[in-house]
Structure 1
Amino acid sequence: MITVFTDAAASGDPGPAACGIIIKEGSSFTEHSFYLGEYSNHDAEFLAVEKALELCKEKYFGDIISIRSDSKTVVEALDQGYTKNKSFQSYLYSIKVLEESFPMVFYKWIPEKQNKQADLLAKKKLHQPKKPKN
């Protein structure tokens, strides 16, 4: 089983957002962070899960995936496969499509103190200077 920790950080609502992802396979792990653009924190939390599943699809296609997040909103929506919030429905759909690459995907809510490394990655990426686009 592959264990994945995700977190997001946003500066404003909406505002610049980034995510941090840690993928653990046995005793080894990889760290990833992405600048996401302008999003609310909840949107960024959904995007963190989406990015994590995209990464897992590349390297761990067909494995069982356990995703840990400190966002109750995200974990509850993904566990139930439903959200009343129309702005989250497209994320839910995209994530459900990605889930088809794996025999099982589990979601577990964890307290923030158990997600410090993913949080640190997200905040570090959020505060990195942005390179100008040519």
Structure 2
Amino acid sequence: MIEVYTDGASRGDPGKSGAGIYIKQGKTKFEYAIPLGELSNHEAEFLAVIKALEICEEHFPDEIISIRSDSKLVVDVVEKNFTRNQSYKPFLETIVQKSATFPYFFIKWIPEKQNYHADRLSKQAIM
């Protein structure tokens, strides 16, 4: 199982944004700080999950993927496979499509303090 920690950050709403992705495969760790352009914080959080899934598609295509995020909004939308917010629907559709390529996909909310690495990387991406 691949543990994937994601976080999105935005300076302003909208503002300069970035995604932080921290991946654990056993004892091996991978870190990604990805600039995202001008987005809201919620959009950055969704895109962090999408970018993480894209990385996993390329490097871990046959693995069980467990995403951990400190964004309750993103986790709730993905778990329920539903949002009323029209601007989030394309993000949800992309996550559903990409997650379906893995044998098993899980998403779990974690407290911000447990998401230190991804948080640091997301902030690094907007510096």
How far off its partner does 1:125 sit?
Answer: 1.5
- 2:50 maps to 50
Q: Residue 99 of structure 2 aligns to which amino acid in structure 1?
A: E
Name which one, 1 or 2, has greater alpha-carbon Rg: 1
Cα offset, 1:123, TM superposition: 0.6
Query: Structure 2 regions of 5+ residues with no counterpart?
Result: none
**Pairing 1:119–2:106 present:** no
Deviation at 1:76, TM superposition (A): 0.4
Root-mean-square deviation (CA), in Å?
A: 0.6
After TM superposition, list the pairs within 5 Å mapping 1:1-134 onto structure 2. 1-127=1-127
Q: TM-score, normalised by structure 2?
A: 0.98
Shift of 1:32: 0.5
Percent of pairs identical after alignment? 51
Q: What is the rounded CA distance, in whole Å, between the counterparts of 2:107 and 2:46 in structure 1?
A: 12
- Whole-angstrom distance in 1 between the partners of 2:98 and 2:106: 13
Match of 1:131 in 2: none
Offset at residue 100 of structure 1 (A):
1.9
Give the TM-score taking structure 1 as reference length. 0.93
Measure how far apart 1:101 and its partner are. 1.4
What is the letter of the counterpart of residue 32 of structure 1? Answer: Y
